[in-house]
Structure 1
């Protein structure tokens, strides 16, 4: 399979290594210093760029009829616009705040825990995420996905980074040197606490999941999620 890499930073280089190890060919390594030349030769594109470049990258894929997997966060205020373009151009698209297989299983655990905890109002939920100091957005897209998972399965209505009001989930975002990503969801009461936690040891899990998603997406049309890739729909 021929892959275009849109964004060639640390994650892009890890994705390149894993893709080549799995027998794929890299036909474009796009960063701010070069063009999209070679994109049309790709079977699929993987976008791990920056929020300011993501929409242009994804749009170019749809216009070139190349399905695209995007792991860039911080641009989702334009998500509906991108989905409309995908449908118009009959493109293929997967966007995820986190492509790690472990994190996507963690999302499922988080949803289930929120659902069974919802009747027990003596517990309040809070979240903490820790990432490396180079991460541009805060809170992380993964933390927002976790918060939305709780909101969809409970009486909580929104998340905040400030002191929470009633029915709000507080997300604390910490930036620490050389931390790939740690996410903790805690339910606290006066008598005990319940905690689930995912700790990434390196970038390999994110990169492998993105390549697996690209392998799955190649040749498909439509808007999909990692639930589709991992067959997690219940």
Structure 2
């Protein structure tokens, strides 16, 4: 599989290592202001920056190249990407987190929220910790976790960053040196606390998930998620 890496920072370089180990070829290594011929590639993997993501995705889809995107902070244009993918009969996966473990964690989070729905004495909150170079807050993973809870829990209809309000899930976003990503869901009551946590030890899990998703997507058409890739949910 010939891969275009759109975004060649720390994540792009880790994806490169994993892809080469799995027998693939990297034909493009581009950052947001580079010119490149996307038609050299069989598939594109975008881990760029919020301001470049939609341009990378639309450029790939316009040239009939399937694309995987793990960039967060650009989702105001997500519906445009979906519409373009459908118009071009293309293939597209966006995930706020490609880690295989995190996607299992998403399912645990949703199932726990369903169980807690009738226990109104518990107040839910989310804490996310990332490295200081992360450009967006809260993380895309934390937003996905919050939205999944909202979809099944009748107490909540929104989330708030670093604020506690009625009917909103508080997301505490912290930035610390050299933290790949830690996400904790807390259910607090006067009596006890229930929590579930996912801790990433390095970027390898994110990179492996992105390459696995690219392998799965090649040859398909449509808009998919990691649930489709992993056959869960």
Taking structure 2 as the reference length, the TM-score comes to: 0.98
Distance in 2 between the 1:164 and 1:33 partners? 40
Distance in 2 between the 1:106 and 1:134 partners? 24
Equivalent residue for 2:103?
A: 104
Distance in 1 between the 2:67 and 2:33 partners? 21
Distance in 2 between the 1:213 and 1:152 partners? 25
Equivalent residue for 2:166?
A: 166
Matches within 5 A, 1:108-123: 108-123=107-122
Distance in 1 between the 2:98 and 2:33 partners? 26
- The answer (yes or no) to whether the contact 1:43–1:219 under 8 Å persists in 2 is no
Is the aligned partner of 1:124 residue 2:123? yes
- The answer (yes or no) to whether the contact 2:32–2:48 under 8 Å persists in 1 is no
Equivalent residue for 1:140?
A: 139
User: Where do 5+ consecutive residues of structure 1 fail to align?
Assistant: none
- The answer (yes or no) to whether the contact 1:68–1:92 under 8 Å persists in 2 is yes
CA deviation after TM superposition for structure 1 residue 43, in Å = 1.2
SS in 2 for 1:86: helix
Aligned length: 232
Distance in 2 between the 1:46 and 1:174 partners? 27
Q: CA RMSD of the aligned region, Å? A: 0.8
Is the aligned partner of 1:15 residue 2:32? no
Distance in 2 between the 1:197 and 1:36 partners? 40
CA deviation after TM superposition for structure 1 residue 163, in Å = 2.5
Distance in 2 between the 1:146 and 1:32 partners? 28
| Structure 1 residue ranges, 4+ long, deviating more than 3 angstroms after superposition | none
Equivalent residue for 2:40?
A: 41
Q: 1:167 to 1:33 in 2, by over 3 A?
A: closer
- The answer (yes or no) to whether the contact 1:46–1:70 under 8 Å persists in 2 is yes
